């Protein structure tokens, strides 16, 4: 629940606001903890699949009888109730609840997307969930060690966690473990009444250009390493599907994409952070990226537009603007 208080002091505004932030760190569980984590994820996938099947049956029944109420996450708690399922006695109750919350959120997202895109697909059956979420209990952070009910993980704490921790999420991605802390903290900021504003444009030959004449070129890390991508893709296509060599080549290709993705995120966050700290008001165009890609003169220009990720950049601007008390105004071209 957000609260907002303002108080005028010497022509300045002191703003107090509760904001939600997330800290993400690499984690290194020992072999025993890693084995138990994967086993727990498989059990949670079974809960996900049972809840998904119930929702499908409810949807089919509602087609025949409109008086039947739609199913919700609250009506599916019988799937995780420990008195009905003694095999769940050693599992954290709140982490099981988050499985139902995640499924409910996925369905809401699906129904929102299908209104705009008819090719949107509903949630699928899973063999193993890739994330475990803990609430207020079931975990404890001591230094750089995270203790959970099934083991402990060593975390690379590259910065302090500030604020009250609301949830802890342990995630497996590309055979790497990550821990995310979702926190809530009051944000204090002093804003001078200078009303400094800037207008940003996205020309075809540059990543962006602002009203003060500052220009930022397109990032070239994708094109600098495109030959490596082609080599890894060819190596994967030569392997027999399902073999050990195929899995190794696929993992190597995933690592390349992850590396480029991290570079892109850093590039976008750095620019967004710079503009939201320097200006009080930022005007950003709504970019019809699909049309710009179709109108591109050659394939390299189209790839550069895709690699720029303007949608992610605008979303990043909104996130940093909330933190730095900056206003974002989107205008149509």
| Distances from the Cα of 319 to the Cα of 2, 151, 204, 323, angstroms | 15, 34, 25, 7
Q: Quick one: average pLDDT of 302-306?
A: 75
Residues 36 and 167 in one domain: yes
Residues 161 and 212 in one domain: no
Confidence (pTM): 0.77
CA 58 – CA 294 distance, rounded (Å): 42
Q: Quick one: average pLDDT of 237-264?
A: 91
CA 208 – CA 193 distance, rounded (Å): 27
Residue 13 resides in a domain: no
Residues 144 and 34 in one domain: yes
Domain boundary residue among 164, 186, 208? 186
Domain boundary residue among 159, 186, 213? 186
| Distances from the Cα of 109 to the Cα of 22, 38, 49, angstroms | 21, 27, 18
Residues 179 and 307 in one domain: no
Residues 143 and 230 in one domain: no
Range of the domain at 253: 193-332
Residues 163 and 237 in one domain: no
At residue 297, the pLDDT reads 66
Total structural domains within the chain: 2
At residue 65, the pLDDT reads 84
What is the 8-class DSSP label of residue 111? H
Q: Is the pLDDT of residue 7 over 60?
A: no
Average pLDDT score, the chain: 85
107-116, 159-168, 218-227, 247-256: the lowest-pLDDT one: 218-227
Residues 45 and 143 in one domain: yes
Q: Quick one: average pLDDT of 112-133?
A: 88
Residue 62 resides in a domain: yes
Domain boundary residue among 157, 186, 215? 186
At residue 35, the pLDDT reads 94
At residue 67, the pLDDT reads 82
At residue 192, the pLDDT reads 47
Q: Quick one: average pLDDT of 125-134?
A: 92
Residues 205 and 182 in one domain: no
At residue 288, the pLDDT reads 65
Residue 15 resides in a domain: no
Residue 5 resides in a domain: no
Confidence of residue 10 (pLDDT cuts 50, 70, 90): very low
Q: Quick one: angle between helices 310-324 and 244-278, nearest 10?
A: 50
What is the 8-class DSSP label of residue 84? T
Q: Quick one: average pLDDT of 279-306?
A: 76
């Amino acid at each position: 629940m957000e609260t907002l208080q303002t108080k005028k002091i010497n022509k300045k505004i002191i703003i107090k606001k509760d904001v939600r932030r997330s800290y993400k760190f690499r984690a290194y569980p020992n072999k025993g903890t890693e084995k138990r984590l994967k086993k727990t994820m498989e059990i949670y996938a079974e809960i996900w699949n049972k809840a998904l099947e119930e929702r499908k049956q409810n949807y089919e029944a509602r087609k025949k009888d409109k008086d039947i109420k739609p199913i919700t996450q609250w009506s599916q708690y019988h799937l995780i109730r420990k008195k009905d399922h003694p095999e769940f006695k050693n599992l954290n109750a709140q982490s099981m609840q988050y499985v139902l919350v995640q499924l409910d959120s996925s369905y809401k997202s699906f129904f929102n997307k299908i209104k705009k895109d008819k090719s949107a697909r509903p949630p699928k059956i899973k063999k193993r969930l890739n994330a475990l979420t803990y609430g207020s209990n079931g975990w404890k952070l001591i230094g750089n060690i995270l203790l959970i009910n099934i083991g402990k993980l060593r975390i690379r704490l590259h910065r302090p966690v500030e604020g009250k921790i609301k949830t802890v999420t342990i995630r497996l991605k590309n055979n790497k473990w990550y821990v995310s802390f979702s926190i809530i903290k009051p944000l204090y900021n002093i804003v001078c009444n200078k009303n400094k504003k800037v207008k940003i444009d996205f020309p075809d030959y540059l990543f962006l250009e602002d009203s003060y004449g500052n220009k930022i070129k397109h990032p070239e890390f994708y094109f600098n390493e495109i030959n490596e991508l082609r080599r890894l893709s060819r190596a994967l296509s030569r392997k027999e599907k399902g073999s050990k060599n195929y899995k190794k080549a696929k993992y190597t290709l995933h690592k390349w994409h992850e590396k480029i993705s991290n570079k892109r995120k850093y590039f976008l966050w750095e620019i967004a952070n710079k503009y939201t700290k320097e200006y009080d008001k930022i005007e950003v165009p709504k970019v019809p990226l699909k049309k710009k890609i179709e109108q591109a003169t050659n394939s390299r220009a189209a790839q550069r537009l895709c690699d720029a990720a303007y949608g992610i950049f605008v979303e990043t601007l909104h996130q940093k603007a909330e933190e730095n008390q900056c206003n974002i105004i989107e205008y149509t071209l």
